[in-house]
Amino acid sequence: MVAIPGEPAAPIAPTNHQQPSLLVIGAGLAGTEAAWQIAEAGLAVRLVEMRPLHRSPAHHSGEFAELVCSNSFGALSSDRAAGLLQEELRRLGSLVIATADAHAVPAGGALAVDRGRYSAALTARLEAHPLVTVERREQTQLPAADQIAVLATGPLTSEPLAEQLRAFTGRDDCHFFDAASPIVAGESIDLELAFRASRYDKGDADYINCPMNKQQYLAFREALLSAEQAELKDFERENASFFEGCLPIEELARRGEDTMRYGPLKPIGLWDPRWGDVQDAAVRRAQRAYAVVQLRQEDKDGRLWNLVGFQTNLKWGEQQRVLRLIPGLEKADFVRFGVMHRNTFLESPQLLDASLQFRSRPQLLAAGQITGTEGYAAAVAGGWLAGTNAARLAKGLAPISLPATTMIGALTHFIAEAPSKTFQPMPPNFGLLPDLPERIRDKRSRYGAYRDRALADLEPYRQVAQPQLALAG
């Protein structure tokens, strides 16, 4: 194995398990991963989670790593940004990604999971680890200055701890508004009107598609525009802003007549064989849907389906009324309505290093969406790095940051170095990576070259991961 730059050649001495345990606050995606990496490094860790004693506005259970907005981690292929991030985490021994692989449900080219089984499996795995102590309570104070700790409270950090963060950082917290999509019972979807297919027939027919003609689409958009929204109870409406990657469907409708058709309702690449031969150009022009609403499988057995891209802040009664205008969903049974909640994130460029340590308190690390990364896999990546570095600090080793040519490294360097005045949450994307030595015009080939360089540059850092890479089960 190639040596990590700056890593001492001597092996790590066995850890004294009697030393004070490390602390991880929050058992979301980042906290779950961080706690696991610390424990697998042979160190005792206390994992503090306020649920189910205190519920957040968006969570529905007390399980670890609950997925709130969607059940998808994004594209699976490693020549896509989200897929590359997932592959880097697999190679680094991520428990969360391995468990996602083990509980995957059909989703075309995406990694989507059965949420209930996935979260239950992670909860059981952490609770059973001999070095993990789970504490079900709300953490209202920041850890003591000499405590090695990972702050992974996520975008729904409770107000007492958020107030502590404001006092500690000397900065007002940043926030934007995020929303989750509704889920319907599969047996209530009318497959006489809807059809099974994946876009461009990639993979199996993993999505249910509800086609609209122009008249149906315009009537649906008008209903969205006139529907009543839920109150933003605890926050000033005039200060609300949305993360562009997770806009409520009604906000998309407000942005223009065709905005939804070029976003989640785009009809391109979707064809119902009942319309005729897709290869016949005349048939294709005459029959192609004007817009298509897609539903993605939510659970292993296909009993639950979520509306893709339909994050919403409409009142629940309005959601039922408006969404039943979608062809095939006229009698939809809603298992969960969409909700909107505030996401809090740190002004990380002023506060964090690329190792995810606070500059003013290196013993304290932050991970997950609170740092200003966006997306499930990005939260897991922050948890892996913060947990790994917490363990290294406890063992007297220097913390690491990953090369900016890797997707994990690109994200963590971005949040540490981005212009502070314009800082907003960032999802994984190839635009974060340094340019390749030579320009490659073909996009697919270019993304493949980014992937190959990232995985090669990641290789020297795999020695900090645990040897047990097959963690699912």
Distance CA 396, CA 374 (A): 31
Q: What is the pLDDT of residue 238?
A: 39
Structure tokens belonging to residue 439:
């320009």
Reported as a single tens digit per residue, the pLDDT across 382-405 is 999 999 999 999 999 999 999 999
Instruction: Tell whether the model's pLDDT for residue 156 goes beyond 80.
Output: no
4-13, 155-164, 346-355, 380-389: the lowest-pLDDT one: 4-13
Q: What is the pLDDT of residue 45?
A: 97
Reported as a single tens digit per residue, the pLDDT across 331-359 is 998 877 887 766 677 889 899 999 999 99
In this structure, the answer to whether residues 260 and 361 fall within a common structural domain is: no
The SS3 call for residue 334 is strand
The answer to the question of residue 214 being in a domain is yes
In this structure, the answer to whether residues 58 and 194 fall within a common structural domain is: no
In this structure, the answer to whether residues 356 and 266 fall within a common structural domain is: no
Q: Specify the CATH number for the domain of residue 302.
A: 2.40.30
Q: What is the DSSP string of 242-282?
A: B-GGG--HHHHHHT-TTTGGGTTT--TT---GGG--TT-HH
The SS3 call for residue 426 is strand
The answer to the question of residue 14 being in a domain is no
Domain final residue, candidates 283, 315, 338: 338
19-28, 31-40, 74-83, 462-471: the lowest-pLDDT one: 462-471
Q: What is the pLDDT of residue 240?
A: 47
In this structure, the answer to whether residues 170 and 187 fall within a common structural domain is: no
Reported as a single tens digit per residue, the pLDDT across 88-124 is 999 999 999 999 999 999 988 899 999 889 999 999 9
Q: Confidence class of residue 177 from pLDDT cuts 50, 70 and 90?
A: low
Distances (CA, A) of 66 to 1, 71, 128, 376, 428: 35, 9, 18, 10, 20
In this structure, the answer to whether residues 301 and 234 fall within a common structural domain is: yes
Of 52, 117, 140, 65, residue with least CA distance to 369 = 65
Q: What is the pLDDT of residue 5?
A: 55
Of 251, 256, 239, residue with least CA distance to 313 = 251
Strand ranges (E), 257-358: 291-297, 304-307, 334-336, 340-345, 357-358
Q: What is the pLDDT of residue 425?
A: 74
Of 383, 355, 427, residue with least CA distance to 82 = 427
In this structure, the answer to whether residues 39 and 95 fall within a common structural domain is: yes
Distance CA 168, CA 336 (A): 38
- Within 13 Å of residue 374, how many CA atoms lie on the same side as its CB? 19
The answer to the question of residue 230 being in a domain is yes
Q: What is the pLDDT of residue 399?
A: 96
In this structure, the answer to whether residues 189 and 236 fall within a common structural domain is: yes
- Residue 103 near residue 117 (C-beta atoms within 8 A): yes
The answer to the question of residue 327 being in a domain is yes
The SS3 call for residue 446 is helix
Q: What is the pLDDT of residue 159?
A: 78
16-25, 252-261, 449-458: the lowest-pLDDT one: 16-25
Residue 44 neighbours by CB under 8 Å, 6+ apart = 17, 19, 21, 22, 131, 133
Instruction: Provide the 10 A C-beta neighbour count for residue 440.
Output: 14
In this structure, the answer to whether residues 37 and 168 fall within a common structural domain is: yes
Of 31, 68, 69, residue with least CA distance to 50 = 31
Domain final residue, candidates 311, 338, 365: 338
- The two beta strands, 207-212 and 104-105, are unpaired
Instruction: Provide the 10 A C-beta neighbour count for residue 251.
Output: 18
- Within 13 Å of residue 1, how many CA atoms lie on the same side as its CB? 14
The SS3 call for residue 351 is coil
In this structure, the answer to whether residues 171 and 88 fall within a common structural domain is: yes
The answer to the question of residue 310 being in a domain is yes
Instruction: Tell whether the model's pLDDT for residue 219 goes beyond 60.
Output: yes
Distance CA 447, CA 1 (A): 26
Task: Check whether the bond before 52 is cis (ω within 30° of 0).
Answer: yes
Rama region for 76: left / alpha / beta (φ>0; ψ in -120 to 50; rest) = alpha
Q: What is the DSSP string of 394-418?
A: HTTPPP----TTSHHHHHHHHHHHS
In this structure, the answer to whether residues 306 and 349 fall within a common structural domain is: no
Reported as a single tens digit per residue, the pLDDT across 442-469 is 888 999 999 999 999 999 998 766 443 3
- Residue 202 near residue 107 (C-beta atoms within 8 A): no
| Domain count along the chain | 2
Q: Confidence class of residue 232 from pLDDT cuts 50, 70 and 90?
A: low
Of 332, 328, 308, residue with least CA distance to 320 = 332
Instruction: Tell whether the model's pLDDT for residue 187 goes beyond 70.
Output: yes
Reported as a single tens digit per residue, the pLDDT across 273-316 is 899 876 766 656 657 899 999 999 876 678 889 999 998 989 98
Share of the chain above pLDDT 90, in %: 55
Domain final residue, candidates 338, 357, 391: 338
Instruction: Tell whether the model's pLDDT for residue 162 goes beyond 50.
Output: yes
Per the structure, the complete domain to which residue 283 belongs is given by: 183-338
- Residue 358 near residue 74 (C-beta atoms within 8 A): no
Average pLDDT over residues 37-63: 80
In this structure, the answer to whether residues 452 and 317 fall within a common structural domain is: no
In this structure, the answer to whether residues 293 and 333 fall within a common structural domain is: yes
Q: What is the DSSP string of 176-231?
A: EEEE---EEEGGGS-TTT-EEE-GGG-SS--EEEEEE-HHHHHHHHHHHHHSPBPP
The answer to the question of residue 1 being in a domain is no
Q: Specify the CATH number for the domain of residue 358.
A: 3.50.50.60
Of 125, 74, 165, residue with least CA distance to 381 = 74
- Residue 41 near residue 134 (C-beta atoms within 8 A): no
Average pLDDT over residues 258-269: 94
The answer to the question of residue 438 being in a domain is yes
Task: Decide which of 427 and 212 is more confident.
Answer: 212
Mean pLDDT, rounded, of the chain? 85
Q: Confidence class of residue 245 from pLDDT cuts 50, 70 and 90?
A: low
Of 48, 49, 52, 102, residue with least CA distance to 73 = 102
Q: Confidence class of residue 60 from pLDDT cuts 50, 70 and 90?
A: low
Residue 375 neighbours by CB under 8 Å, 6+ apart = 73, 74, 82, 245, 427, 428
The answer to the question of residue 6 being in a domain is no
Average pLDDT over residues 309-335: 93
pTM of the model: 0.71
